[in-house]
Amino acid sequence: MTMAQPLDVSRYRSERHIPWAPLSAEEIEARRLVQINAETVTHTAASDFPGHYGPEQDDSWVVERFRQGLKVDFHHNKPHDAAFSLVGIDASIANAFRRILIAEIPTLAIEDVFFLDNTSVIQDEVLAHRLGLIPLTGGREGLDWLHWFHRAPSKDAFTMQTASDGDETTPVSTHNDYNTIVMTLDIECRWATVEKDGWDGKKKAAEGDVAPEEKYIKSNVYASDLVFHPQGKQSEYFSGENAIRPVNPEILIAKLRPGHRIHLRCHCIKGVGSDHAKFSPVATASYRLLPQITITQPILGADAKKFARCFPRGVIGYEPDAATGEQKAVVKNPMKDTVSRECLRHDEFKGKVKLGRVRDHFIFSVESTGQFESDELFLDAVRLLRAKAERFKRHLTELEEGR
C-alpha cells in the first residue's frame, strides 16, 4: 500500500500559509492515520467532518461518496471464524456492529433446568449453570421462527422492574411450542458386565485396570447425551438434520461413578447476550485498526536485518537498493504487525520510520459459537443496527408531528 508520509495537516497548512483550499489527495490520505510514537498516540480522533478544514473542503456526508469509499475484504471465512477488513466507516459504526454482535443478536440457550434426580458429585446449581453455557444449534429457519419468551420481572431485580414499568403491554409468556425447546438428560452410571457389555468391569478393577471407561458404563456425561423432544409445531422445523442439538457433542458435562444418576429436563429459550453471556452468538467479536509502517529513509544491510527482527515474521521484506546494491528493508505485509513499537527503541532507526494505524480500516474478527455462521452474524448485526436507526427515525417523526 502506498500512502503519504504522516503529517499534521492543519499545522502543515498554516506553516505554508495555504488559504482555505480543498485538501490535496495526499493530505486526505494523511489525515486517515492515527500516529503512534515511542511514548504517545496522537491524532486519535477523526477530522473528516464539515467545517474542520474551512469552507472550501467539502466533508459533508454524501451517500455516493460513502459508497465509493466503503470496502469489505474477507481474509478468511470459516463458519466458526471469519476475519475481514471493513474500510471507510467511522469508529462509532464499527463499534456498534461489534457490540450488537456480542450483546444483541438472539440465540437459543438452556434457561431453566428441572432436576428430577442428581446423585452425582456435581451440585445442582453448578450443573444447571454448566448446561446453560452449552452452545446449541438447529435449523436456521426454525430458530428464526422461534418466538421470544417474556419472563415475569424478578422482584429483586430493580432494573428489570423499572424497565417493565414503562412497558406494561408486554405480557408474561407461558411456555409453549412457539417459545420453548424441551431437552432431557437421563443417564445412570453402572459397572460393565459380561451380559450387557461383553466384559466384566469389576474383574478389570480387581486386575488393576484403572481407566474409568474400562470399568464403568456411562461414566462420562457428554453434551451429546442431551435429548431433544420436539413439541407440537416444532417437529415441522426441527427434524432430521435440523434437530436442536449441541454444537460440540463432546463437551464433558459431568463425571459419574456406578450408582450415580442424573435425570433432568431443560427448557431452552431465545435470549440476548446483554441478559446473559450464554445467549451471545459469538465467542468473541473484535476489531483492530490496520497498522501502517512508513520507512522514510532507506534502512540498509545489517540494519535492515535488525529492523525486520523488530516486527513479527512476514511484516518486513528485503529488496536490493538501487543506489548502493545492498539489501533494503521494505514493508511487505503491515496486516501481520502487532504494533509493538520495538523499532522505535533503537537509535539506528531514529527518524527513519513512522508508525501509525489507519483510522477507518477495521480488521474484524468474528468467532461464532456455532448456532449461526460468522459472516451471517455480521450481516444480522448490520440489519439490527439498520432496524434500530429506522425505529429512532420513526420516533423522531412522531415527536415532530406531536404524537
Partner 1 sequence: MSREQYTPPTLQDRNAGPSSSSQQSQTQQTTSQPYTGGGFNLTAASLDALGDDSRPIHYLCGDCDARVTLKKGDAIRCKECGYRVLYKERTNRMIQFQAR
Residues lying near partner 1 in the complex (CB under 8 A) are found at: 109-119, 124-125, 128-129, 131-133, 174-180, 182, 229, 231-233, 259, 263, 265-267, 276, 278
Q: Which is nearer to partner 1, 201 or 334 (CB)?
A: 201
Q: Which is nearer to partner 1, 277 or 387 (CB)?
A: 277
Upper half-sphere CA count for residue 349 (Cβ side, 13 Å): 25
Q: Which is nearer to partner 1, 11 or 155 (CB)?
A: 155
Other C-beta atoms lying within 10 Å of the C-beta of residue 345: 10
Q: Which is nearer to partner 1, 276 or 395 (CB)?
A: 276
- Please report, to the nearest 10 degrees, the dihedral formed by the alpha carbons of residues 29, 34, 37, 42 taken in order: 120
Distance CA 364, CA 93 (A): 13
User: Is 111:267 a contact under the CB 8 Å cutoff?
Assistant: yes
State the nearest-atom distance from the C-beta of 138 to partner 1, in Å: 16
Show the cell assigned to 272: 440476548
State the nearest-atom distance from the C-beta of 217 to partner 1, in Å: 18
State the nearest-atom distance from the C-beta of 39 to partner 1, in Å: 44
State the nearest-atom distance from the C-beta of 226 to partner 1, in Å: 12
Q: Which candidate, 138, 144, 120, 143, places its Cα nearest to that of 130?
A: 120
Distance CA 306, CA 343 (A): 9
Q: Which is nearer to partner 1, 184 or 286 (CB)?
A: 184
Q: Which is nearer to partner 1, 143 or 308 (CB)?
A: 143
State the nearest-atom distance from the C-beta of 259 to partner 1, in Å: 8
Q: Which is nearer to partner 1, 116 or 194 (CB)?
A: 116
3-state SS string over 332-372?
CCHHHCCCCCHHHHCHHHCCCEEEEEEEEEEEEEEEECCCC
Question: What per-residue string of b and e applies to 298-334 under the rule 16 or more CB within 10 Å gives b?
Answer: bbbeebbeebbebbeeebbebeebeeeeebbbbbbbb
Q: What is the DSSP string of 54-123?
A: -TTS-----HHHHHHH-EEEEEEEETTEEEEEEES--HHHHHHHHHHHHHTS-EEEEEEEEEEEE-SSS-
State the nearest-atom distance from the C-beta of 110 to partner 1, in Å: 5
Name the residue with cell 456480542: 102
Q: Which is nearer to partner 1, 40 or 174 (CB)?
A: 174
State the nearest-atom distance from the C-beta of 166 to partner 1, in Å: 25
State the nearest-atom distance from the C-beta of 127 to partner 1, in Å: 8
Show the cell assigned to 114: 428441572
User: Is 282:377 a contact under the CB 8 Å cutoff?
Assistant: yes
Q: Which is nearer to partner 1, 85 or 180 (CB)?
A: 180
State the nearest-atom distance from the C-beta of 151 to partner 1, in Å: 10
